[in-house]
Amino acid sequence: MLSERLGMLTDGYEEMEKDMQDVGFRVVLTHDFRTRLNLASPSDDIVKFFCMLSAYKCNEQQVRTAVDDIFSQPNMDICMRKLAIFTK
C-alpha cells in the first residue's frame, strides 16, 4: 500500500517468476510468509530511502505523511512476502 501511495513501481511475483522462466529457470519451492513492518516512527534514513525508491517523486514530508496515514490504521503493519527458490 505504501509503495502505491508513493508512486513506486512494483512487479508482482507472477511477473518475476515469468521472467525467471523465460531465461531458463524453474521454480523448485515457494513459501508465503507473514511479516510485520513497523514504520510507526521511521528514522530519517528510512524516510530518505523511501524518497529514493519513489524516484524522488515524493519529498520527506510526503513520505512521513503517507507512513503516518497508512500505519495508523489497524493491522497495516502486517505484510505478506513470498520466498521462491529457482534452479536451472
- State the DSSP code for 57: S
User: Whole-prediction pTM value?
Assistant: 0.64
Confidence of residue 9 (pLDDT cuts 50, 70, 90): low
Distance CA 31, CA 84 (A): 7
Query: What number of CA atoms fall less than 13 Å from residue 78's CA on the CB side?
Result: 6
- In the chain, what are the domain boundaries? 2-87
Which amino acid makes up residue 46? I
Q: How far apart are CA 48 and CA 54, in angstroms?
A: 10
The per-residue pLDDT for range 30-71, each reduced to its tens digit, is 999 888 877 878 899 999 998 998 888 889 999 999 988 888
* pLDDT of the residue at 48: 94
- Inter-residue contact 30 to 82 (CB < 8 Å): yes
